[in-house]
Amino acid sequence: NAGVTQTPKFQVLKTGQSMTLQCAQDMNHEYMSWYRQDPGMGLRLIHYSVGAGITDQGEVPNGYNVSRSTTEDFPLRLLSAAPSQTSVYFCASSYGLGGGYEQYFGPGTRLTVT
């Protein structure tokens, strides 16, 4: 089991560029989510998905798009990067969010927008 994997580990973008952060899990989890972590703040939910073909917005969705065509993959797209999107991005997965379902996190992608 590789768990939750994220690529790339580091990325530098210029303002206005677009890119896709990749996330994959091999645990057959239905629930997947994206968070961003900024200094001095906790993680904030960007988008989440409760299964293939179903996505919804979290706390800070503006400037990001997601899609879920398979159970395994949940990419995050930055449409037009802005310096305010400089952050560390984490992908997570679990069987669900209620009850005793633990969330498993990937190692993160550190993004800098200049």
Partner 1 sequence: KQEVTQIPAALSVPEGENLVLNCSFTDSAIYNLQWFRQDPGKGLTSLLLIQSSQREQTSGRLNASLDKSSGRSTLYIAASQPGDSATYLCAVNWDNDMRFGAGTRLTVKP
The verdict on 58 binding partner 1 (CB under 8 A) reads: yes
CA distance 86 to 17: 13
CA distance 87 to 56: 21
The verdict on 10 binding partner 1 (CB under 8 A) reads: no
The verdict on 1 binding partner 1 (CB under 8 A) reads: no
Coil, strand, or helix at residue 61? coil
DSSP H/E element including 90: strand 87-94
Contact with partner 1 (CB under 8 A) among 21, 106, 111, 113: 106
Contact stretch for partner 1 (CB under 8 A) within 22-30, 37-45, 68-76, 79-87: 37-45
The verdict on 102 binding partner 1 (CB under 8 A) reads: yes
Contact with partner 1 (CB under 8 A) among 11, 17, 30, 44: 44
Question: CB–CB of 69/75 below 8 Å?
Answer: no
Q: How many CA atoms lie less than 13 Å away from 96 in the CB half-sphere?
A: 3
Site residues (CB under 8 A) for partner 1?
A: 33, 35, 40-45, 48, 50, 56, 58-59, 90, 92, 97-108
